[in-house]
Chains A and B, each alone.
Chain A
Amino acid sequence: MEKDIILEVKGLKTFFYTEQGIVKAVDDVSFSIERGQTVGIVGESGCGKSVTSLSILRLVNWPPGKIAGGEIIYNNRNLLSLKENEMREIRGNDISMIFQEPMTSLNPVFTIGSQIMEAIVLHQKVSRKEARDRAVELLRLVSIPDPDKRIDEYPHNLSGGMRQRVMIAMALSTNPSILIADEPTTALDVTIQAQILDLIKEVQTKYNLTIILITHDLSIIAETADKVIVMYAGKIIEESDVKSIFRNPAHPYTKGLLSSIPRIDDESVRGSLFTIKGLVPDPLDLPPGCYFEPRCISKKPECRQRMPEFTNIENNHRVRCLLYEQ
């Protein structure tokens, strides 16, 4: 069966030109996403996962950030070569985004209703009355109680979970086909996180959404994603369908991450957790060869020589590690 690719990122490079030097936040990143899939991008702080998603929407601010190369193909068009007004159309109609901090991403001086309506009026030709009705309907969709009353409340009247629901309503207001969710539940309590992840799944089915989920939390990936991309220091180091990567993690970094999380279903008491030695490298002073080499427990002398290429180890499972190269 022909794969229905909705978005393809090819050789994306996003660099930050700082006084100290060039930070290659995203360095030659390529992946593709099928329609209706949930792709999880996972990694620790500074790995480039958020910058990748901001680059897709061309929201990287210059200076100091700049998309230095690559292509992002959506509907046979390269988003990186669109004019700014065409790109605004894409942001309004095709690709939406929700952020980690629902407090700071809502404007505190406007009611939630006016903020949702703003997006609708801006991108669709409707009257204010129609926009308001649509906003109420969206709030109901994301399970906000009494939507026709809550619509006139200000963000500070709402709890963190409710604010994130409003953000989701706003993101859905333009009927997008792709939703980028950047750490959507990181600031929330675990029972509220469960509610929000549930809601995201529900709207995904309803709207046949494609979701790009950015997170540091491998457990969330395990429960929600179809496909996983692991990033380290600006590079993809492993990519796989979700079952294969958790059953058979290949890269020493992925293996390390997975065995360093305490698991609630682990019955052994207080065994020592596996730890990845050392720190994420300084982006201005990256190691030669593989960026993970200084922290790797399986390293070989050749690992300092060059950055490994991808090796396919299973169907839909590739890894950037010399241990697997023939």
Chain B
Amino acid sequence: MNSSKNYILNVRNLVKYFPIKKGLLSRTAGYVKAVDDISFSVKEGEILGLVGESGCGKTTVGRSILRLIEPTSGEILFDDKDIIKLKGDKLRKQRKEMQIIFQDPFSSLNPRMTIGNIVKEPYEIHGVFKKKERMDRARDILMTVGINPNMLNRYPHEFSGGQRQRIGIARALALNPKLIIADEPVSALDVSIQAQIINLLVELQKKFSLTYIFIAHDLAVVKHVSDRIVVMYLGKIAEIADGSELYRNPMHPYTQALLSAIPIPDPLVKKQRIILEGDVPTPIDPPSGCRFHLRCRYRQEICTKETPVLEEKSPSHYVACHIVKNEKYNN
């Protein structure tokens, strides 16, 4: 995964440890190893899905890229600039290029601001457009996401969950960013509303040639929208592949189990389900070697000792597993 012109973002050896403070003097008693040395790239104009279960570090990755949390170490290259080194004005300018959409449409909008003011606030922070123009711009964007612009002066509580998520999307689009990180954008919504928001996100991506990092725990949703998918487990990347390749030919035993656990809305489809034993271990004291080995069906001696590296096992299909050989995988 070399950095070449068509990669918009390169994440290299990203690490984020959260210190655990204990006692009166809050001495550091240990670390939550939320993200532990991961590297991946995002191509311009693609939708990259980031999946995994709670605690796998997917949200921490998203927030680190935006510098909403400070990574412990690593490089995040956006247009060949290392975001981690940026400060002050330069960081603020950089942030115009990257925006986020949050999961919870109820807590991510300020209840005391009208939706018009919410959507035009980014212009004020970044000093874009003349004062008079800003509200007109907000009106345009709200229309683009399907909110009646006559509601500009209403407050968030007057809208349903789906509509609020649209307002959150409008705010993310306001500065015309290149990259949008969507962190579980549909998981708080009912099925019928979920489909509306997914369609809207895909439509906007085409219209404004956006690049998305789409973070979600629901692999069916991620597969529907993504070009490529990164599967994470306990702070590490387990597998990266094109969406359909990942579904047809999952190589990592974790990906296989994850796929087989997803219920399919058709009672006539009978499939072999791999039930994983136990829970995800704690990221405070992750297992040695491969982090998945405690729950893995194919575990061997080496898995308990050596951490597998992410390798290209077939074209554009990267897997971190000792068991998978460098050839088409056969069960």
Contacts A190-B219, A260-B192, A273-B198 known; A279 to B225 CB distance under 8 Å? Answer: no
Q: Does chain A have a CB within 8 A of B244?
A: yes
Interface presence of B279 (CB below 8 A) = yes
The residue that A261 contacts in the complex, of B195, B243, B267, B279, with Cβ under 8 A, is: B195
Report yes or no: B192 in contact with A276, Cβ–Cβ below 8 A. Answer: yes
In whole angstroms, what is the CA distance A269 to B225 when docked? 7
Give the CA-CA distance A146 to B257 in the complex, in Å: 25
Chain A residues with CB under 8 Å of B193's CB are 279
Assembled-state Cα–Cα distance A266/B220 (Å): 9
Of the listed stretches B176-184, B269-277, B319-327, chain A binds B269-277
User: 1/0 per position for B200-244, CB-CB distance to A under 8 A?
Assistant: 001000000000000001111101110000000000000000011
Within the assembled complex, what's the spacing in Å between the Cα atoms of A189 and B234?
13
Is A306 an interface residue, CB under 8 A from the partner?
no
A217 vs B162: C-alpha distance in the bound complex, in angstroms? 18
B191 located at the interface, meaning its Cβ lies under 8 Å from any Cβ of chain A in the complex: yes
Q: Are A220 and B264 in contact (CB under 8 A)?
A: no
Q: Are B195 and A246 in contact (CB-based, < 8 A)?
A: no
14 sample A-B contacts, Cβ–Cβ < 8 Å, listed by A number: A159-B280, A190-B219, A191-B53, A192-B279, A198-B275, A218-B265, A219-B264, A222-B263, A223-B267, A260-B194, A260-B195, A262-B221, A267-B244, A270-B224
Residues from chain A with Cβ under 8 Å of B128 in the complex: none
Chain A 257-272 interface residues, beta-carbon cutoff 8 Å to B: 257-258, 260-267, 269-270, 272
The size class of the interface chain B forms with chain A is 35 or more
Cβ contact within 8 Å between B224 and A273: yes
In this assembly, does B288 line the interface, its C-beta being within 8 Å of a C-beta of chain A? no
Query: Is A45 on the interface with B (CB-CB < 8 A)?
Result: yes
Give the docked Cα–Cα distance between A273 and B217 (Å): 19
Interface residues of B in 275-323 (CB under 8 A from A): 275-276, 279-280
Q: Does A118 contact B (CB under 8 A)?
A: no
Q: Are B199 and A261 in contact (CB under 8 A)?
A: no
Q: B108 an interface residue at 8 Å Cβ cutoff?
A: no
Q: In chain B between 251 and 275, which residues have their CB closer than 8 angstroms to a CB of chain A?
A: 257-269, 273, 275
In the complex, B110 has a CB within 8 A of chain A: no
How many residue pairs bridge A and B at CB < 8 Å? 121
- CB pair B265–A159 under 8 Å, yes or no, is no
Whole-angstrom CA separation of A256 from B190 in the bound complex: 13
* Chain B, Cβ-Cβ closest to A221: B265
Are the CB atoms of B195 and A191 closer together than 8 Å?
A: no
> Is A68 close to B, CB under 8 A?
no
**A242–B223 CB distance below 8 A:** no
Choice from A189, A222, A247, A270 contacting B54 with Cβ under 8 Å: A189
B160 in the interface (beta carbon within 8 A): yes
B196 near A: Cβ within 8 Å?
yes
Question: A275's contact among B53, B160, B199, B279, by CB below 8 Å, is which?
Answer: B199
CA gap between A261 and B224 in the complex, in Å:
10
**B247 close to A (CB within 8 Å):** yes
User: What is the CA–CA distance of A179 and B194 in the complex, to the nearest angstrom?
Assistant: 30
Is A162 an interface residue, CB under 8 A from the partner?
yes
State whether A279 and B267 are in contact (beta carbons under 8 Å apart), knowing that A194-B275, A269-B244 are contacts in the complex.
no
Task: Decide if A262 touches B264 in the complex (CB within 8 Å).
Answer: no
Leading 4 A-B pairs by shortest Cβ distance: A262-B224, A219-B263, A260-B195, A189-B53
Q: Which chain A positions have C-beta within 8 A of B264?
A: 219, 222-223, 263-265
Name which residue of chain B comes closest to A223, CB basis. B263
CA distance A189 to B259 in the complex (A): 12
B268's partner among A246, A256, A258, A266 (CB-CB below 8 A) is A246
Q: What does the 1/0 interface line of B155-167 toward A look like (CB < 8 Å)?
A: 0000010100000
**Is A194 a contact partner of B273 (Cβ separation < 8 A)?**
yes
A218 contacts B191, C-beta separation under 8 Å: yes
Complex Cα distance, B195 from A260, in Å, reads: 6
**Cβ contacts under 8 Å, B219 to chain A:** 190, 264
Q: Does A243 count as interface, using CB distance less than 8 angstroms?
A: yes
Within A196-242, the residues touching B (CB, 8 Å) are 197-198, 216-223, 242
In the bound complex, what is the Cα–Cα distance between A243 and B262 (angstroms)? 19
Asked if A44 lies at the interface with its beta carbon under 8 angstroms from chain B, I say yes
Complex contact B224–A266 (CB within 8 A): yes
Q: How far is the CA of A235 from the CA of B190 in the complex (A)?
A: 18
Residues on A with beta carbons closer than 8 Å to the beta carbon of B243: 269
Report the minimal beta-carbon distance from B198 to chain A, rounded to whole angstroms.
Answer: 6
Of B218, B267, B268, B269, which is in contact with the most chain A CB atoms at under 10 Å from its CB?
B267
